[in-house]
Chains A and B, each alone.
Chain A
Amino acid sequence: QVQLVESGGGVVQPGRSLRLSCAASGFTFSSHAMHWVRQAPGKGLEWVAQIWYDGSNKYYADSVKGRITISRDNSQGTLYLQMNSLRADDTAVYYCARDGQQLARYSFDIWGQGTMVTVSS
């Protein structure tokens, strides 16, 4: 079945780096744009970044621009989020989500279960 599985979360000190991964299965990963969306504890959802199906274009929320990089390896069916200079307000569950594309344009039609990132000294 269509599935996204995130990994790589954990506890990290402020200013340090962390890389999240999202393994896709059950669909043609290389045909879909992908997103990262985060949710701080007890808070709402926040769009973080998008990458096109071929990795040629990447877009970021202003809140993370310059500190976070989205990338993908289509040969491995994996999406990544490299997070640098982490701050306390980056503490959140990070979800990867599939772009709905032609079937559900400008929406997120499949979500992973999320991985928790805690930034704390």
Chain B
Amino acid sequence: QSALTQPPSASGSPGQSVTISCTGTSSDVGGYNYVSWYQQHPGKAPKLMIYEVNKRPSGVPDRFSGSKSGNAASLTVSGLQAEDEADYYCTSYAGNNNWVFGGGTKLAVL
């Protein structure tokens, strides 16, 4: 199973919006509405930010939103804040009790 494709980096100024893409295939992203996104600060464990494409766990700010079209999913962070600077990973269920991750995107808040 190949990894999902994410841009290695993204950036934005405080208050702006930034969108991170995550491209897969019809066997993973396109085949299931089970894309999730994780935030990881340096040296820390990942944190679930979005699940089932566009749902937010309790406690995650509504500045974070997710969407999907075909074989591509995206995470949008609106109203960027300094604490949003982190690595972001997408993952998708790929069937047969298999999961595939993206390579990660380093988000910089300029």
Chain A interface category by residue count: 20 to 34
A-facing mask of B49-71, CB < 8 A → 1, else 0?
Answer: 00110010100000000000000
Q: Are B34 and A105 in contact (CB under 8 A)?
A: yes
User: Which of B32, B91, B99: most chain A Cβ within 10 A?
Assistant: B99
Q: Which of A45, A50, A59 meets B46, CB within 8 Å?
A: A45
Question: A110–B36 Cα gap in the complex (Å)?
Answer: 13
- B residues 86-105 near A (Cβ < 8 Å) are 89, 91, 93, 96-104
Indicate whether A47 sits within 8 Å of B102 (C-beta atoms), given known contacts A107-B48, A109-B51: no
Chain B residues lying within 8 Å of A107, measured Cβ to Cβ, are 34, 36, 48, 51-52, 91
Q: Which of B44, B96, B100, B103 meets A47, CB within 8 Å?
A: B100
Indicate whether A44 sits within 8 Å of B101 (C-beta atoms), given known contacts A62-B1, A106-B93, A114-B45: yes
Q: Are B104 and A44 in contact (CB under 8 A)?
A: yes
- A residues 27-77 near B (Cβ < 8 Å) are 35, 37, 44-47, 50, 57, 59, 61-62
**Cβ of B47 under 8 Å from chain A:** yes
Question: A45–B104 Cα gap in the complex (Å)?
Answer: 8
**Cβ of A95 under 8 Å from chain B:** yes
Question: A76–B5 Cα gap in the complex (Å)?
Answer: 39
Q: Are A104 and B36 in contact (CB under 8 A)?
A: yes
Q: Are A109 and B48 in contact (CB under 8 A)?
A: yes
Sample of 4 further A-B pairs with CB below 8 A, known A44-B103, A45-B91, A105-B51: A47-B99, A59-B96, A106-B99, A107-B48
Interface residues of B (CB under 8 A from A): 1, 3, 32, 34, 36, 38, 44-48, 51-52, 55, 57, 89, 91, 93, 96-104
